[in-house]
Structure 1
Amino acid sequence: MKLKIVMSSRIRDKAVDELTAEYVKRMGAYAECSVVEAFSPNKAKQLPLLLKAGEGMLVGMDPKGKRFTSEKFAAWLEKKLEEYGGVTFFIGEADGLHEELKARLDDTVSLSDMTMAHRISLVVLAEQLYRALTIIKGHPYHK
C-alpha cells in the first residue's frame, strides 16, 4: 500500500512541515507514505512535475469533491488501496488544482466546506489519512 500527497507549492512553514512529518511517520506502520513538493515557478513546467509525481489512483483535493465521515473515508480508502495499490492526493495552490491535472484525476475529495490555506489542508489530510489507516487496522486512535 502506497500513499502520496503531492503539493503544487512549497511548504515553507516549519510547524506545518514538522506536524505533517509526524503523521507521515505514524502512517509508516501501516503503509508507505510520502509528501512531494512538485513546484515550479514556471506554470508550463508545473503539470509535468505533478503528473510525474502521481501514481496509483489520482485524487484531487477540492471543496466540491466527495465528502466523508472519517469512517466512510477509511472504507473508501481501503477499497481504493486494494483496487489500485496506491493513492496519490493532490493539493493545489490558492487558486486550486491545475486545470489539465483535474481532467486526469480519478476522483476528488473535500476536506471541508470551509476554505483553508493549502498548507493547513496538508496537515488535515495527513491526519485524516493516518486516522483512516488506524480505523482500517482497528487501532484505537480514532476513538
Structure 2
Amino acid sequence: MAQHWRLLTVGRPKDRAISQMIDEYRMRLGSWQPLDWVVAPEIGYKNGQESETLEREAKAISKHLDPTDFVILLDIDGQQVTSEFLSRQLARYQEQSLAVVFVIGGSLGVASRIRERANWRWSLSSLTLPHALAQLITVEQIYRAFSIIHHHPYHKA
C-alpha cells in the first residue's frame, strides 16, 4: 500500500456538502494513493492584525510538517499546469516514495516562511477562489491525476 499523503488546510469548509465531496474524492483516491486530511485552525483577525494572524497560522501549519515532507503549496503565484502534467509529477513523487503534503493556507494566504518551505508551488488558477472551493478542486485534481495514471475513464480528455 502506498504511503499516505496529506492535505493540510487552514480551516475546513463551512458548507457540509463541500466537505462531503472532498471526502468522496479522498475515498475514490484511496486505492491508488491514500490522502489524509489534516485541518489547522483558521484564526480570525481584525484589520491591522494580518501579519500576526499569518504567523499564528504558520505555527499551526508547521506543527504538521516533518523535515522530510515534500510540500506542495497551493499558491496563486505558483505554477499553473495541465492535469496531464500534474499526473506525471504526482506519479514521480509516488515512485520516489515521497511524503507529499498539499498545503492550502487561510484567507490571507500563508506566511513567507511557509512559502519558502514549499518544494513546489502550484496554482489552480489566476482567479481568486474561495478556500472551500480551492480545497475541493485540489482534491478533485489529485484524483483526476491518478485516474490518468491508472487509465481510468474518469479523465476523458
Letter in 1 for 2:149: I
Partner of 2:61: 50
Aligned 1:1-143 pairs, distance under 5 A: 1=2, 2-39=4-41, 41=43, 43=53, 44-55=55-66, 56-143=69-156
How many residues align structurally?
143
Letter in 1 for 2:7: I
Does structure 2 conserve the Cα–Cα contact (< 8 Å) formed by 1:57 and 1:84?
A: no
RMSD: 1.7
Does structure 1 conserve the Cα–Cα contact (< 8 Å) formed by 2:42 and 2:106?
A: no
CA deviations on 1:93-126 (whole Å, 9 max, x unpaired) are 1211222211211110011111101110000001
SS of residue in 2 equivalent to 1:134: helix
Partners in 2 of 1:45 and 1:66 — Cα distance?
A: 26
- Normalising by structure 2, we get a TM-score of 0.83
Q: Percent identity?
A: 28
Q: For the pair shown, which has the larger CA radius of gyration, 1 or 2?
A: 2
- Normalising by structure 1, we get a TM-score of 0.90
CA deviations on 1:59-118 (whole Å, 9 max, x unpaired) are 110111111111111001111222342311111112112222112111100111111011
SS of residue in 2 equivalent to 1:125: helix
SS of residue in 2 equivalent to 1:41: coil
Higher percent of residues as helix: 1
Letter in 2 for 1:41: I
SS of residue in 1 equivalent to 2:106: coil
Q: Which moved more, 1:83-92 or 1:112-121?
A: 83-92
CA deviations on 1:34-80 (whole Å, 9 max, x unpaired) are 11111153845432331232353101101111111111110011112
Partners in 2 of 1:136 and 1:69 — Cα distance?
A: 14
Letter in 2 for 1:49: A
Letter in 2 for 1:5: L
Partners in 1 of 2:17 and 2:109 — Cα distance?
A: 23
Task: Flag the 1:49–1:84 CA change in 2: closer, same or farther, 3 A.
Answer: farther
Question: Unaligned stretches of 5+ in structure 1?
Answer: none
Shift of 1:33: 0.7
Question: Unaligned stretches of 5+ in structure 2?
Answer: 45-52
Does structure 2 conserve the Cα–Cα contact (< 8 Å) formed by 1:60 and 1:97?
A: no
